[in-house]
Structure 1
Amino acid sequence: MNPDAAAPAATLPTIPVPVAHDLSMLGLFLQADIVVKLVMVLLVLASVACWAIMIEKAVTLGKLHREVRRLTKFVRGDLKGEDASQGEGLSAQVLRAGMAEWQEGRDEDESRAEFRQRIEHAMRAVLGRLIRRAEPGLPILATTGSVAPFVGLFGTVWGIMNSFQGIAASNDTSLAVVAPGIAEALFATAIGLVAAIPAVMAYNRFAIRIGRLRTEGNAASHDFAAALSRRQGARRRHAAAE
């Protein structure tokens, strides 16, 4: 045996190179399971719809606020010289409804309180119908605010289940293997919260504003109906004196 013969080279163990994971928001979405992707897309669409509703409601309630303030100022006499009954705004329609009932006159067997209630009821009916037009879309905000976190949680649970199945298949529990799957799963919950929190805040804000506008408009209707009923009584006394 030749002692100078080269000994066979020792075989070195192969060290696996960890796969780099993209932990950006786009990367987490692209690497997620199909079910988690569907959950994320659904939540993003719900969030976009909620923001569209919030912008529309902000504009609509802003117009209603100006109309109700105009009605209140007219009833208080702050808009003297300005015909607030012209046009198709809320204040004009409410005032025309009250004037129409007043012009029909008071029945012989109708008390002054009943006459005032009839005028006020006509005005409140128009006011309520116009304010209800601002309510569509609010149920979507309420539903998104209450359901979106649970939808995101479902995506998280599903993603973690898949992550644990991958860990069991690879027999590797290192943080580099576990972290990306869990991050993808938790991203679904984060999107759910991003969709839910503005929706809840907007719903509460808009519901309070609508309630205040309805209360302020009803108060103005009550005052205007009372003024018209007194004017009707003065007209009757004047006619009787003649």
Structure 2
Amino acid sequence: MSIIDAFFHATFAGKLVLLILICMSIVTWALIVHGVIQVRKTTKHLSHLSNLLSKVNFDVVESRLTSNIVDNILKRTIRLSLDTILPANTSTEIKARGEVIMQQANTGIFMYQKMLTVGVPLLGTFAAIAPYIGLFGTVWGIINSLSALGTAQSVSLQAIAPGMSEALIATGVGLVAAIPASAGYNYLTKKSEDAICELINLNERVISVASTTRIKENTHEVNVR
């Protein structure tokens, strides 16, 4: 028996369960495709920024950054590092200003993380509840089958099998919805965390380079005196 046949032969509750699971499956795949595209685009862009930072100075990097949120976060960190860390006079002052800049960067990074992981919690929810919705459909179908048997004149395998088959299809559809949701949740969570860690590292690199440069300048000035 196909899912279509099971749907048309099911009770109202059975049809509702199958509709919910089918809608969850469609939404799951839409979220997975969108999330994979966003994560891969972000990962590629962060790799480009990392290479850019290792080859040219901050002024050149800043001029090449665009107006997207990742670039704006890094651009702000670069500008604050140039404007506040480089004029600092002591190591303590340099460290304190670097920490303040990183705190401000973390605010933007947190906002970007929420944008990058939109839909991921919903995948986790679908992965958790889809099997139970399918199980509910199965239990409901079995109850209806047993109730029908109670009023039947004769009991045979031919009488039981169609109802049981319809009931078990709900569990199968629930698993079909839950397995991709679980895999997508784990994949996107891991890739999003990697991307956010890389963005944090880029901002820390900017602050570290600016701080090291200023410390060397201070040391040189002391030696000259």
- State the 1:204 CA deviation: 0.4
1:149 matched to 2:131? The reply is yes
1:34 matched to 2:12? The reply is yes
1:44 matched to 2:22? The reply is yes
Distance 2:121 2:155 in 1: 45
Contact 1:115 1:229 in 2 (8 A): no
- Provide the aligned C-alpha RMSD in A: 2.6
1:97 equivalent in structure 2: 76
Higher relative contact order (Cα pairs below 8 Å, separated by 6+ residues): 2
Larger helix percent: 2
Query: For residues 80 and 116 of structure 1, do their structure 2 counterparts lie closer, same or farther at Cα, with a shift above 3 Å needed?
Result: closer
Distance 1:220 1:81 in 2: 15
Percent of aligned pairs with the same residue?
25
Query: For residues 128 and 25 of structure 1, do their structure 2 counterparts lie closer, same or farther at Cα, with a shift above 3 Å needed?
Result: same
Normalising by structure 2, we get a TM-score of: 0.87
Distance 2:45 2:51 in 1: 10
Alignment equivalent of 1:65, drawn from 43, 47, 61: 43
Gaps of 5+ in 1: 1-22
Distance 2:147 2:106 in 1: 62
Letter in 1 for 2:82: Q
Once the two structures are superposed, residues 199-241 of structure 1 have per-residue CA deviations (whole angstroms, 9 ceiling, x without a partner) of 0000001001111112222222222211012233455567886
Contact 2:137 2:167 in 1 (8 A): yes
1:86 equivalent in structure 2: 65
Structure exhibiting the larger radius of gyration computed from Cα positions: 1
Letter in 1 for 2:151: A
Gaps of 5+ in 2: none
Alignment equivalent of 1:135, drawn from 117, 123, 142: 117
Query: For residues 119 and 74 of structure 1, do their structure 2 counterparts lie closer, same or farther at Cα, with a shift above 3 Å needed?
Result: farther
Distance 2:166 2:195 in 1: 45
Aligned ranges for residues 72-221 of structure 1 at < 5 Å? Answer: 72-77=50-55, 83=61, 85-106=64-85, 110-221=92-203
What secondary structure, in the 3-state scheme, does the structure 2 residue paired with 1:111 have? helix
Contact 1:43 1:148 in 2 (8 A): yes
Normalising by structure 1, we get a TM-score of: 0.81
1:10 equivalent in structure 2: none
